[in-house]
Amino acid sequence: MRTSLSDEFGLDLSLFAFSYMPDVVAAVCKAGGMGVLGAVRFTPSELKEALDYIEGEIGGRPYGVDIVMPAKTEAVAGMEVGEMHAMLQKMIPQEHRDFVERVLDQYGVPKLPADAETGRDLLSWNDTEARQQVEISLERPDVKLIVNALGPPPKDVVDQAHAAGVKVAALVGRKDHALKQLANGVDIIVAQGTEAGGHSGDVATMVLVPEVVDAVGDHPVLAAGGIGSGRQVAAALSLGAQGVWTGSMWLNTAECGQPDIMYKKFAKATSSDAVRSRAYTGKPARQLRTAWTEAWDDPDNPAPLGMPLQYMLNAEAQDRIRRSGNEELMGTPIGQLVGSFTEVRTVAEVIALMKDEYQRTVTALPRLAPSTDTVRPGDRS
Ligand SMILES: Cc1cc2nc3c(=O)[nH]c(=O)nc-3n(C[C@H](O)[C@H](O)[C@H](O)COP(=O)(O)O)c2cc1C
């Protein structure tokens, strides 16, 4: 599972792993891949803490940070976070707030206790905090990759990373998006098919990866969406990718620290239970089908708001759902891969299985190559 890209980063495996859990990131790095921390849930000071933790675990190995830099930031560029938050809160219609309460009531989800610590409702997918996260990440000598989701990162941010000797990767769901990323100076394209967990487009990995590989010339491409086994890695490399970018598979590991209910729901889910819905963030994102997604996707109910308002509307509800352990409502972004989840394993175990299956797959592949003595007259290839 080595390619010229993994060699460039000094990795044993061309396996790139997105996770918002520092423990998963560290375990992937220790197993020879590149863990990339999803930073959007962290405040700047929480991010520093998480990076300290990872570095304490991985002893100088390279790792990455994934930052969500929204493309259209003119309206709020440079705005102070508190001011931005207040402005956005006022934009949420009462009808939507009432609907959230009705759904929670229907499933008997209690209010939060008065002293409960609540999660953030405006994540770091705003220009101000995303830029702070870039600065924090670039101060770390072992951060070798910055990854951006949701559109091309601003050109000055790419330049800033390059000046620090750090490569920039970006997620795309379409060939034309890949070309826009390259125009902004991005080094590595993550071609993410619709199977993927989280925000996704509508083109499948099998179609998207070769399309993007052919379009981007010498730039390396990582294949993403529906990759979680050695056979899938072999397929991705056969499509011309230089490595794989993975997300969902780590949700079913011990290090991810999911509530037991979630692991049980994963075990029961089929691939068709990972639905693309605007329920979570306002943009189409693949996630586990729940009573919550069904409620938002019902055309008789209020339509989900745009991003970031939908997540702001949702955040406290999600805290309440998790806290109450409500099985019908509890979900997560996840890809179609969930249908193949079996038992919960450690990251190291999962990677060992993947490597083993990859090895067996590529060892068997030469049997498919036509050899001169088996070619019959009339065979054309
Ligand atoms: C729970 C979850 C959260 C995600 N959040 C982000 C994110 O914040 N930024 C990002 O670039 N990608 C995010 N993604 C997408 C992953 O980076 C990755 O592209 C995707 O998981 C790959 O497809 P797979 O889920 O089939 O492995 C998320 C994926 C999941 C499953």
Q: Does the bond joining 308 to the residue before it have cis omega, within 30 degrees of 0?
A: yes
Confidence of residue 369 (pLDDT cuts 50, 70, 90): confident
**Low-confidence winner among 35-49, 189-203, 307-321 (lowest mean pLDDT):** 307-321
If you measure from the C-alpha of residue 199 to the centroid of ligand 1, how many angstroms do you get, rounded to a whole number?
Answer: 7
| Exposure string over 211-223, b if 16+ CB within 10 A, otherwise e | bbbebbeebbbbb
Instruction: Tell me what pLDDT residue 75 has.
Output: 56
Ligand 1 atom, smallest distance to 190 CA: 19
For 366, other C-beta atoms within 10 Å of its C-beta total 8
Q: What value does the mean pLDDT take over residues 356-375?
A: 84
What gap in Å lies between CA 357 and CA 97, rounded to an integer?
48
Residue nearest to atom 21 of ligand 1 (CA): 247
What gap in Å lies between CA 180 and CA 151, rounded to an integer?
9
Instruction: Tell me what pLDDT residue 77 has.
Output: 64
Instruction: Tell me what pLDDT residue 374 has.
Output: 56
Instruction: Tell me what pLDDT residue 381 has.
Output: 46
Confidence of residue 83 (pLDDT cuts 50, 70, 90): confident
Instruction: Tell me what pLDDT residue 79 has.
Output: 75
Confidence of residue 289 (pLDDT cuts 50, 70, 90): very high
Instruction: Tell me what pLDDT residue 377 has.
Output: 53
- The whole-chain average pLDDT of the chain stands at 92
If you measure from the C-alpha of residue 185 to the centroid of ligand 1, how many angstroms do you get, rounded to a whole number?
Answer: 22
Domain boundaries, the chain: 4-362
Ligand 1 atom, smallest distance to 197 CA: 25
Confidence of residue 192 (pLDDT cuts 50, 70, 90): very high
Residue nearest to atom 28 of ligand 1 (CA): 198
Residues with CB under 6 A from ligand 1: 18, 38, 40, 66, 68, 147, 149, 171, 192, 195-198, 224-227, 245-249, 332-335, 337
Q: Which amino acid is at 318?
A: Q
378 contact partners, CB below 8 Å, separation of at least 6: none
For the record, the structure tokens of 236 come out as: 């991705």
Phi, psi values for residue 346, rounded to 5°: -80, 165
% residues pLDDT > 70 (the chain): 95
What gap in Å lies between CA 122 and CA 311, rounded to an integer?
7
The preferred substitution site among 15, 16, 18, 186 for testing ligand 1, maximizing ligand atoms within 8 Å of CB, is 18
Ligand 1 atom, smallest distance to 148 CA: 11
If you measure from the C-alpha of residue 248 to the centroid of ligand 1, how many angstroms do you get, rounded to a whole number?
Answer: 7
344 and 252 Cβ atoms separated by less than 8 Å: yes
If you measure from the C-alpha of residue 166 to the centroid of ligand 1, how many angstroms do you get, rounded to a whole number?
Answer: 21
**Low-confidence winner among 37-51, 56-70, 108-122, 353-367 (lowest mean pLDDT):** 108-122
Q: What value does the mean pLDDT take over residues 186-209?
A: 97
Residue nearest to atom 5 of ligand 1 (CA): 198
Instruction: Tell me what pLDDT residue 124 has.
Output: 73
What gap in Å lies between CA 32 and CA 10, rounded to an integer?
9
Residue nearest to atom 15 of ligand 1 (CA): 198
If you measure from the C-alpha of residue 181 to the centroid of ligand 1, how many angstroms do you get, rounded to a whole number?
Answer: 18
198-199 and 188-192 as β-strands: parallel, antiparallel, unpaired?
Answer: unpaired
Confidence of residue 103 (pLDDT cuts 50, 70, 90): very high
Residues forming a β-bridge with 191: 172, 223
Q: What value does the mean pLDDT take over residues 272-284?
A: 95
What gap in Å lies between CA 52 and CA 335, rounded to an integer?
30
What gap in Å lies between CA 347 and CA 251, rounded to an integer?
10
We find that the CATH architecture of domain 4-362 is Alpha-Beta Barrel (3.20)
Q: What value does the mean pLDDT take over residues 301-328?
A: 92
- Dihedral angle at the C-alpha atoms of 58, 254, 66, 61, nearest 10 degrees? 10
